[in-house]
Structure 1
Amino acid sequence: MTPAISVILPVRDGGDWLREAVDSVRAQSFGDFELLLIDDGSTDDAIARLPPDARLRVLANPGRGLVAALNHGMAQAQGAFLARMDADDRCRPQRFERQLALLAARPEVAICGVQVELLQPDGGPPPPGGLAYRQWLNALCEPADIARELFIEAPLPHPGWLIRRTAWTRVGPYRDGPWPEDYDWLLRAHLAGLTMAKPADGVLLDWREHPQRLTRRDPRCARANLIAVKAPALAVVLGGREVLLWGATKTGGRLHDALTAQGVRIRAFVDLDPRKRAGRKRDLPVLAPEAASAHADAAILVTVSQGAKKPAIRTQLAALGRREGIDWWFAT
């Protein structure tokens, strides 16, 4: 009998955390799933120590690396819904039930994420440094909010996805590039017109924060590579409009270069600092914020990353008559 959900869980040397991850899937209140565990060249015995379960299938990765493992799992999946899970995280018991309920109630949503809690490696409470990031992620539940802030970074943590098979077919497999494969996939889904949302009534995934996590050690997650993957998508969304880059920062310079390579014309930089306005950046003028009113036809991309400054920037741009997600975006 075909399961409703196929859970794709790639692993290489999962250690003790793998059992926790698998047990959390097996304990779901919605039990009509298959769990595809894709072994990406493990050398430990974590997989062999898992308890038997008719819903669990272990597959060998025919390629090498995470992207190959993910695509192999997706190709073998039988369910109408495709869920992601990682070997070092834990699902809350009602995760699938509540995600499916959202997708049933809102047929326009193609990709369902989750609110998360961050854990220490030992399962303890979240580290203080991750609180702002967690708050940002968990505040983005409605499609408009997710789309508005998609160009900051991935607003749906990868191990929490539940997507319709039709969405996967429309977007296509993960691409193996010098950037995070999940962020690239979400950007392509956005350009394809697919809608994303999350249940807003509580945490459904415990996301383990540790030094070995890919987002901490994989060079594909470096800021320069995040800019490289978002620039082509930004070029499409901009639709030929010229751009003001708000923030004469290092990130602003990198985004200038990446967008220019995509054929986007950068008109000027904008910055609050009068010392920066005294010079030029990338041989372009650096304007005061109030000067942006003379460039009403240009889109604005904000490259300021400090969260504390974002409310003031939103206020300034609203005063200029700019609409977030239409006339301007955060693109840090």
Structure 2
Amino acid sequence: MPRVSVTLPCYNCEATVGRAVQSLLAQTLDDFELVAVDDGSTDETAAVLSEFARRDERVRVVTIPHGGVVAAANTAIAEARAPYIARMDADDEALPERLAAQAALLDERPDVGLAGCRVRFGGCRESCAGYAHYVDWTNTLLDHESISLNRFVEFPVPNPSIMFRRESVEAYGPYRDGDFPEDYDLLLRWLESGVVAAKVDAELMIWNDPPTRLSRNHPKYTVEAFYRAKTGYLARWLEQSNPQHPEVHILGSGRTTRKRADLLKDHGIRFAAYYDVDPKKVGHVVNGVPVVHREHVPAPEDAFCLSYVGSRGAREDIAAFLEARGYILGRHWLPAA
């Protein structure tokens, strides 16, 4: 019985999967198995994997008809034999200490059900500045509290970097298929169910950003799909945690902010006001909701605020503004963009 099972969904990845597998075979922890699922590839992926399996008994190859990444990932999880299950993507690379460090975290912290790590951005920081900025942001979220309180901003734990306990997936289910990002849905579902997440404070994986990456090309990974995925979870969180439920105050009043925040209305959430600093917007009434200058935001005990402004620097500016007013993250306000 291996200590760790690494699950590797593969589809038409002959150009990158060899590097990914080599990075795993070079791990300092050698008590693991690699479950590589070939999702009906039409290139030489199957041949590459078969050669690795021939040379190293830790590599097991499972072939299925093409069904997409969710089917491949869940097949790998079902085939995994170890108590700890790690995820890896075929275009990424594990640094040598990854499996050992994450397994050690789970050994030392029986309360933790899902372990991540800091990741190194493997793309071009100039041409892919937004993605690089996102990676940098995820690397600041290391403990359960910061991961949990920021989970409605974006995906706080890169999916290819996770390792989790077998009992977590048995209790709360594997990836689900639909018109939403399956990895984000899994994390939101597990956190909502009480799974504790934490990260190793070390860079243990290279997260590459090729133009063929699925998250860049499939409609279920668009920004709008992420908002659809998280809104129901956010609404349930507000019902449990907002003292002013169902009323919230929205930081931001632009069209994009309103479009995304408006998804909450389908869940019975009521908007008291929008807040902005743009004099061209302040004073207007939008669908019955007034736009107020943010200097007039109520006292913390009288309001719960959601920040829906996601432009670079704005999130930090709003956090500083609210904290100066006595707002406590998670008690009086939450970022949602």
Shorter-chain-normalised TM-score: which range? Answer: over 0.9
Distance 1:194 1:74 in 2: 18
Name the TM-score, length of structure 2 as normaliser.
0.92
Alignment match of 1:101 (pick from 104, 110, 124): 104
**1:209 corresponds to:** 209
- Give 1:254 deviation, angstroms: 2.3
2-structure distance, mates of 1:191, 1:251 = 27
The amino acid across from 1:328 in the alignment is W
Q: Tell me the equivalent position of 2:225.
A: 225
d(CA) in 2 for partners of 1:100 and 1:44?
34
Quick one: distance in 2 between partners of 1:160 and 1:29? 17
Deviations 1:255-305 (A, max 9, x none): 332111112222221111121113223331111112221674432111111
What pairs with 1:1-332 in structure 2 (closer than 5 Å)?
2-49=1-48, 50-51=51-52, 52=54, 53-61=56-64, 64-120=67-123, 129=129, 130-200=131-201, 202-239=202-239, 240-293=245-298, 296-332=301-337
- Number of matched pairs: 327
SS of 2:297's partner is helix
Secondary structure at the aligned position of 1:114 is classed as strand
- Once the two structures are TM-superposed, the CA of residue 168 in structure 1 deviates from its matched residue by 1.0
Q: What letter is aligned with 1:61?
A: I
Corresponding residue SS for 1:275: coil
> Cα gap change, 1:144/1:83 in structure 2, threshold over 3 Å: closer, same or farther?
same
> RMSD over aligned Cα, in angstroms?
1.8
Aligned AA for 1:37?
Answer: A
What is the rounded CA distance, in whole Å, between the counterparts of 2:101 and 2:197 in structure 1? 15
State the SS of the aligned residue for 2:81: coil
Q: Is the 8 A contact 1:253 1:282 kept in 2?
A: no
Gaps of 5+ in 2: 240-244
Identity %: 36
Please list the CA deviations of residues 306-327 of structure 1 after superposition, one character each: whole Å capped at 9, or x if unmatched: 2312332112211332111222
Equivalent AA in structure 1 for residue 132 of structure 2:
L
Q: Which amino acid aligns with 1:47?
A: A
SS in 2 for 1:39: strand
In the superposition, the TM-score normalised over structure 1's length comes to 0.93
Query: One-letter code of the match for 2:324?
Result: A
